[in-house]
Copies of this chain bind each other. A is one copy, B any other.
Amino acid sequence: MRIALLGGTGDIGQGLALRFAHDTDHEVLIGSRDPEKARDAVAEYEAELESRGVEASIKGFANEMAADRADVVVLAVPPYYAGDTVEAIEEKLDGDQILVTPAVGMQGDEDGLHYHPPKAGSVTQLVANRAPDEVPVVGAFHNLAADALSNLDDDLDLDTLVVADDADAKSTVRALADEIEGLRSLDAGPLANAAEVESVTPLVINVAKYNDGMHDVGVTFR
């Protein structure tokens, strides 16, 4: 399967790129608004993988080109770019592809980070509203600390919550997540349940802020 990570030069994109390339046989495409930046990131990720004896062939493209070539398109962009990124790629998308969104709207103050969803109710729902009707949207990978994901020495031992209205798309993305070692996917229901999933992201950052010795905080469910 071909997985495109749009905004794949950012921290969550880097983490997912390294994990998919290291742990699975799927083909990873890095997308960026600037294809040159995408190719620079690819060189960096390949060097990191090579230092661990993993021969990975990652490719870098402009976001539109990456989306066009992929089976699964991950919007690893900041929340305020999520809608615009969907618009930029929508002509390249069709009903055989899956759009995945990990972004979360947050606002910070002196106390910590607070969940700040867009008017759609969640970034996941905003992406679903903006995506072409025939393209299934899946919310996943929201609550993973980027630094833990990017550090291949970290065992993760984390859960990721997956929401979607399309059952097939949800199982495809859950299977991809489960292929990352140390990551377990859990079903959190339909897209309407995305807000409760997204709001864990500011929470884990607050837990890291207030508890000595806790970094790259993530969550598991029992």
Q: Which residues of A contact B (CB under 8 A)?
A: 109, 111-115, 157-158, 161, 186-190, 192-193, 195-197, 199-200, 202-204, 206-207, 209-211, 214, 217-222
B-chain residues with CB within 8 Å of residue A189 when the two chains form the complex: 111-112, 206, 209-210
**Contact residues of A: prevailing secondary structure:** mixed
Question: Can you spell out 17 A-B residue pairs with CB atoms less than 8 angstroms apart?
Answer: A109-B192, A111-B192, A112-B193, A113-B196, A114-B193, A186-B207, A186-B214, A187-B211, A188-B203, A188-B207, A195-B199, A196-B199, A196-B203, A200-B203, A204-B221, A214-B222, A218-B221
Q: Max chain B CB contacts within 10 Å: which of A115, A190, A196? A: A196
* Closest CB pairs A-B (n = 5): A187-B210, A196-B203, A111-B192, A199-B199, A112-B189
Take A219-B221, A221-B214 as given contacts and tell me if A196 and B192 are in contact as well, using a CB distance cutoff of 8 Å. Answer: no
Take A218-B222, A221-B204 as given contacts and tell me if A211 and B186 are in contact as well, using a CB distance cutoff of 8 Å. Answer: yes
Residue of B nearest to A218 (CB): B222
Cα A187 to Cα B211 in complex, Å, equals 6
Cα A86 to Cα B63 in complex, Å, equals 55
Q: Is the CB of B217 within 8 A of A221?
A: yes
Cα A10 to Cα B222 in complex, Å, equals 23
Return the contact of A206 from the options B188, B218, B222 (Cβ within 8 A): B188
Residue of B nearest to A198 (CB): B199
Q: Is the CB of B217 within 8 A of A114?
A: no
Q: Is the CB of A111 within 8 A of B210?
A: no
Cα A221 to Cα B210 in complex, Å, equals 13
